[in-house]
């Protein structure tokens, strides 16, 4: 990554930074000199991850924040702590996500997959947006998935209450990540804050382990040798968070550090506006917040 500039003096927040792609992203950005904050649900696990990140990167400036990113109250608390800790915020990496084979409901009464994978990043990004704009040039990088190409936003059943499929919910949440990024980029035009989204590849992590589908249980041992390492999966988020080559690039979807076309549906700006307004209602914004 010789083309990637040093990140000394930059403050970065990586959600879900205690393992897998998130931890590898934190290591990479810390190694480039950034002060990196990571989020995790469990304080002990997050502190242990921070120790590992400091050792692997050679950078002691790694901060720990704890929050369940499926809980809106905890996201709001997290945002307040981040704003207190970082007078400027140069990069937000929305990495946290997961897969659940069965339908679960959060404390906010929302389906867990959409709450964690999509509404969590939507809410946190909006809560940190003023700080990001004040720190411009700044970047928002969101980890989606190639599974978004199979996604469909069912506006009549966003919570999967009528019929639930873990894969369908996951695909839809990742499509929502892409649509959110494109709409965010439109709203941020002229602010100096960019928004990009990416597919990290199929990576060897504990993805879906909390509530694993039978299909994954059978297939995972067979395909695991062909999966990317977390370090390889982190290459694109690190690139989008730090490289001069993408300075000013916004509203694009990336795979293997290269821009690619996303699902045709993701370019429907009217649907993206509709999704944004519904999302704003679901996270409790009293008005449709303009950036």
Q: What number of other Cβ atoms are within 10 A of residue 215's Cβ?
A: 11
Catalytic residues: 170
Rg (CA), the chain: 18
The tokens for 135 are: 């720190």
Ramachandran region, residue 58 (left: φ > 0; alpha: ψ -120 to 50; beta: rest): left
Q: Is residue 262 helix, strand or coil?
A: coil
For the beta sheet containing 252-255, the strands, ordered from the edge strand earlier in sequence to the opposite edge, are: 62-66, 35-40, 11-14, 91-94, 138-143, 193-199, 252-255, 258-260
Residue 215: partners with Cβ closer than 8 Å, 6 or more residues away: none
- CA angle, 234 as apex, 207 and 152 as ends, to 5°? 55
How crowded is the C-beta side of 44, counted as CA atoms within 13 Å? 0
């Amino acid at each position: 990554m010789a083309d990637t500039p040093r990140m000394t003096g930059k403050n970065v927040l990586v959600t879900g930074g205690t393992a897998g792609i998130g931890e590898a992203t934190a290591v990479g950005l810390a190694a480039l000199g950034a002060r990196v904050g990571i989020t995790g649900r469990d304080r002990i696990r997050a502190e242990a991850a921070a120790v590992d990140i400091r050792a692997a990167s050679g950078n002691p400036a790694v901060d720990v924040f704890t929050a369940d990113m499926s809980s809106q109250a905890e996201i709001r608390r997290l945002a307040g702590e981040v704003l207190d800790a970082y007078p400027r915020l140069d990069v937000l990496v929305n990495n946290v996500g997961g897969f659940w084979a069965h339908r679960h409901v959060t404390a906010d009464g929302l389906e867990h997959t959409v709450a964690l994978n999509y509404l969590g990043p939507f809410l946190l990004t909006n809560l940190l947006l003023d700080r990001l704009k004040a720190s411009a040039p700044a970047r928002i990088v969101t980890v989606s998935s190639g599974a978004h190409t199979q996604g469909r936003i069912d506006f009549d059943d966003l919570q999967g209450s009528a019929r639930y499929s873990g894969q369908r919910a996951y695909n839809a949440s990742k499509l929502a990540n892409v649509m959110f990024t494109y709409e965010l980029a439109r709203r941020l035009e002229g602010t100096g804050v960019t928004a990009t989204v990416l597919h990290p590849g199929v990576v060897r992590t504990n993805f879906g382990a909390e509530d694993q589908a039978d299909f994954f249980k059978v297939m995972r041992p067979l395909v695991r040798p062909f999966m990317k390492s977390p370090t390889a999966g982190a290459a694109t988020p690190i690139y989008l968070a730090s490289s001069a080559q993408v300075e000013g690039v916004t509203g694009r979807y990336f795979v293997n550090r290269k821009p690619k076309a996303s699902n045709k549906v993701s370019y429907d700006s009217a649907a993206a506006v509709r999704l944004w307004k519904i999302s704003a209602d679901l996270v409790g914004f009293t008005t449709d917040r303009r950036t």
